Amino acid sequence: MRKSPKVAVVILNWNGRFFLEKFLPSVYNSSYPNIEFIVGDNASTDDSIDFIKKNYPQITILENDQNYGFAGGYNHILSRVEADYYVLLNSDVEVKPNWIEPVIALLESDSTLVAAQPKILAYHRKTHFEHAGAAGGYIDRFGYPFCRGRLMQHVEEDLGQYNDVQEIFWATGAALFIKAKAWQEAKGFDEDFFAHMEEIDLCWRLQKLGYRIAYCPDSTVYHVGGGTLNTSNPKKTYLNFRNNLFMLQKNLPLGQAILTIGIRFWLDLLALIVFLTQGKFKDAWAVSRAHQHFFKYFFKNARKRTDNQVEEKLKGWYNMSILWDLSIHKFTKFSQLAKKYFS
């Protein structure tokens, strides 16, 4: 391992004064020696930047001229950052003083490991994993993401059952460690995603470039979650359904993409009907809009396709349906999934 490669901890902010005031003290107290703290601002209209200037003058502030979302916001900010490693950290995350060192040591141990995440626990329920990342991300054959420690909405208690280093399909954007060279080679996030699932798409593309993604259990952070869009927000529903289709079209082999997206249309229609029966009319319309916009951007996303890898060679690929496992087998824990179906 090199002697303390430079790490840039970059928090993307948009009207996040409350979270910055609450969580910057723990982040700024990090013990890693060669570090720069950066707040990238997505054209906030609150007083969050004035707060940082007054209370944390040592923190670098980089400002965007408009709100580019999570994906575009980070792309614009990181193009101006010089470091060996970027740490993309949500503003609603509390960290421990030694949270950086174990992840950097893991990534330094292997040149093919280019991105990783720590253990993500829930800030308001610290005995349990948090939805966005948990103990590392996976994906099933129909494009549904899930985690060790979290199957869809079923979140597990942390009993040390996932305290092993593991190669995963995707690392959460809530606390994403990535080598700067790999970020640049992959050209960062796809800005058309705006927000949600852009980190899964990035990790998928990194694997297709021959790199690997890892989970580091020796580092733990606590994530509030839903700081920008809560789980019941129709805009989040729209972005998740739309971006999932974008991701499948871009990354699956052509024949598999056609089949999978066709099946997903029917599964999404079922989700739309469920929303209607629950009286969630805005969420039902969000699913419809997601499909409309998938077709609107169909040819643009088609030009982004690469076919240099088959999915069976990608780590963290689950060649079964997580929805089937939940609804038919009644599985609620990652450990219940049969290992033979994982690549």
SS3 per residue for 72-96: HHHHHHHCCCCCCEEEEECCCEEEC
DSSP state of 133: T
The pLDDT assigned to 2 comes to 63
CA distance 310 to 120: 29
Give phi and psi for 139, each to the nearest 5. -150, 145
* Residue 200 predicted with pLDDT over 60: yes
- pLDDT by residue (tens digit) across 255-293? 999 999 999 999 999 999 999 999 999 999 999 999 999
* Residue 234 predicted with pLDDT over 60: yes
SS3 263: helix
Domain limits for position 284: 234-311
The pLDDT assigned to 227 comes to 47
pTM: 0.94
Please report, as a single letter, which amino acid is at residue 325.
D
User: Using only C-alpha atoms, what is the Rg of the chain?
Assistant: 19
* Residue 235 predicted with pLDDT over 80: yes
CA distance 50 to 60: 13
- pLDDT by residue (tens digit) across 290-336? 999 999 999 999 999 976 655 557 999 999 999 999 999 999 999 99
Specify whether 212 is located in the same domain as 250.
no
Specify whether 172 is located in the same domain as 252.
no
The pLDDT assigned to 325 comes to 96
Residue 108 maps to a domain: yes
Q: How many domains does the chain have?
A: 2
Residue 264 maps to a domain: yes
CATH of the domain at 171: 3.90.550.60
Specify whether 65 is located in the same domain as 196.
yes
Point out which residues pair with 167 in neighbouring strands: 214
